[in-house]
Amino acid sequence: MTGQPITASSCIRIVVADSNRMQAQLLTNALHRRSDFHVTACSSDVVSVLKAVDSRPAVMILALSHWSDVAEQMAALRVVHLAQPLVAKVLLVESYDRQLVVSAFRSGVRGIFSVSDTYFKLLCRCIQCVADGQVWANTEQMNFLLDLVSAVPSLRILNNRGRDLLTPREEQVVALVVEGLANRDIARELGLSEHTVKKYVVRIFDKLGVSSRVELALYGVHHSDPLQAEWLTGAVQAEIKKTFPHPPSED
């Protein structure tokens, strides 16, 4: 039985984004040895990456720079994901912790690959995995994510002086309202009676000056203390607006 020839249409198109030019070149050269990979490289700043993924490659590999602010890099990654959600993102790291894993997956990555304790062939498998629509994560990373999913969410509501407006329990109620849960479901989630939840909702309405669940959900989205991975810093926003004055097309 003979193998099928590799054609341009069957190649996995990859963009390597790395601020370290030498490292990017080494990785690109290594990936080029695979006949089923077509690889290009770019800098890891958000504008360069957006331009590189405009052609919609199958996979984008972002090498995390420890010389730059991690939150800023996660915000940039989120921008890229919102612009090109169908491009599978892989974060290349030397090491990771719980916060990084959670922020990375919230920012849209499909896999985290640690270069310190794994082989290059495994990276190729990772690329093929995410290109096929799967998620690449080890057991420890999956446990981080499962712990997050099982935890009751909370939205911290602040006034213009940065002070808390609600109690921790009220913040949990707001978060569940934002997720679209009814009082009965919120009661089940928090282990409370439905009557108690109704009292919490009325009290929250009074504190925030809203009169409906829709208003409360909008208030929670726009006035809560944001997660760094899901919101853009001012510097990133300004740079994107300057370079891309019009939002990306959905075509």
pLDDT tens readout for residues 21-50: 888 899 999 999 999 999 999 999 999 999
Q: Sorting pLDDT into bands at 50, 70 and 90, what band is 1?
A: very low
- Which pLDDT value is given to residue 232? 42
Q: Is the dihedral of CA 163, 167, 172, 174 positive or negative?
A: negative
- Between 4 and 177, whose confidence is greater? 177
Write b or e for each residue in 29-57: b if 16 or more Cβ atoms lie within 10 A of its Cβ, otherwise e.
Answer: eebeebeebbbebbbbebbbbbebbeeeb
Tell me which H or E stretch contains 37. strand 37-42
- Which pLDDT value is given to residue 239? 54
CATH number belonging to domain 12-148: 3.40.50.2300
Average pLDDT of the segment spanning 215-242: 58
d(C-alpha 189, C-alpha 211), whole Å: 23
- Which pLDDT value is given to residue 251? 40
Q: From 99, 203, 221, select the one nearest 156 (Cα to Cα).
A: 221
**Percent share of the chain, pLDDT over 90:** 41
Residue found by looking up tokens 């989630």 in the block: 189
How distant, in Å, are the alpha carbons of 15, 19, 58, 108 from that of 38? 9, 20, 10, 22
CATH 3.40.50.2300 domain position(s) in the chain: 12-148
CATH number belonging to domain 168-224: 1.10.10.10
CATH 1.10.10.10 domain position(s) in the chain: 168-224
- Between 194 and 171, whose confidence is greater? 194
Q: What is the pLDDT of residues 73-128, one digit of tens each?
A: 888 898 899 899 999 999 999 889 988 998 899 889 999 999 876 788 999 999 99
Average pLDDT of the segment spanning 183-190: 88
221 pLDDT more than 60? yes
Average pLDDT of the segment spanning 124-145: 94
- Between 5 and 48, whose confidence is greater? 48
Residue found by looking up tokens 């077509």 in the block: 38
Average pLDDT of the segment spanning 211-226: 77
